[in-house]
Amino acid sequence: MKYTRIPHTDIRISKICLGTMTWGRQNNEDEAHEQMDYALDEGVNFFDTAELYPVPAKKELYAVTEELIGNWFKKTGNRDKVVLASKIAGPGHAANHIRSTGFSKESIVSAVEGSLKRLQTDYIDLYQLHWPERNTNYFGQRGYNAHAVDVWDDNIHQVLETLRDLIAEGKIRHVGLSNETPWGSMRYLEESKVHQSLPRMMTIQNPYNLLNRLFEVGLSEISMREQIGLLAYSPLGFGTLSGKYLTEIPPRKARVTLFPNYSRYSGDTAVAATEQYAELAKTHGLSMAQMALAFVNTRPFLTSNIIGATSMEQLKENIESIHVDLSDEVLEGIEEIHNAIPNPAP
């Protein structure tokens, strides 16, 4: 395994992070525990979860993923071997069954307390805001609708105050963003610069993969100049960059097959790009999934690459990507495809 550090801290984390969002829906508890056992044995010491998981989110499965992780900690005693990240859900349709009070002080405190109880731990190493409260173009929206109804009042100072207090209590160690924009990222960073008693956002968890490299526009400069590390999620674009959906009959138990509304990476242009990436991998004798993951691993703004798997075979292949070095010829081929079909799945 290769390791990095959460920026501005001495916390050493694996460059491959174990994602957990299928546990409790596509994966049962035994499978989740098997994945954690294997990942830890392979040197993966960074796990990412959220109160929203498993997804697609539904009321009767609220926070089951955290419960499965907590049960594993209790069973194995491995809490001290894992750097643990979780998230509070922002307001919106996907989280209506959780709460409707956004990132108020009461909401954040309640969310942290709930996660600690389910995870059976006294602290969370990295606590993230899953998506912004305000109206903006996250989750694949191509443009910002300035005329959309937005009743959000700028409460960033108050959010950071609440997180500061939780850090002081020892319930969380550090904080981060997710699905955030350049404006939001700088707004949080500047607030903690001006008010130095407030905690600094250390990481940003956003999508990044061969079909969606929009992080490179705006956010990559912020990441590198401000040292706020990218935790890249969906590095395989819901599994599309494994090539498994290029067959005439899609895999029966795969995410996009089970949940057709997960179509972000399945448009005609995205499929056309995926076909070209598949051919490039084949030409160079590479697993397509490992090529896609290895590309993400090369990025200078990357802190950790969040992989997810529903089978042990997938998990093993994904973790092995850390040992794949892409040749200049492969990297040049990736850029040629990207220049011809840039960001087909924002």
**C-alpha angle 10/16/18, rounded to 5°?**
100
**Which one of the listed residues 38, 53, 123, 127 is annotated catalytic?**
53
Q: Which residues contact 294 (CB under 8 A, 6 or more apart)?
A: 321, 324, 325, 326
- Segments of the chain assigned E as strands: 3-5, 12-14, 16-19, 46-48, 83-88, 124-129, 172-178, 201-207, 229-233, 302-307
Rounded Cα–Cα distance for residues 258 and 244 (Å): 14
Contact predicate 4/304, CB 8 Å: yes
Bridge partners of 212, per DSSP, are 209
**Rounded to a whole number, what is the distance in angstroms from the first to the last CA of the chain?**
30
Contact predicate 185/211, CB 8 Å: no
CA 34 to chain centre: 21
Contact predicate 114/65, CB 8 Å: no
Cis omega (within 30 of 0) on the bond before 56? yes
Residue 80 DSSP code: G
Contact predicate 107/155, CB 8 Å: no
Q: Which two tokens stand for residue 18?
A: 């174990």
String of DSSP letters for 121-143: -S-EEEEEE-S-SS--S-TT-SS
The torsion angles phi and psi of 335, rounded to 5 degrees, stand at -65, -35
Burial of 79 (0-12, 13-18, 19+ CB in 10 A): middle
Catalytic site includes residue 208: no
Token look-up 């250390």 returns 202
Please list the active-site residues. 53
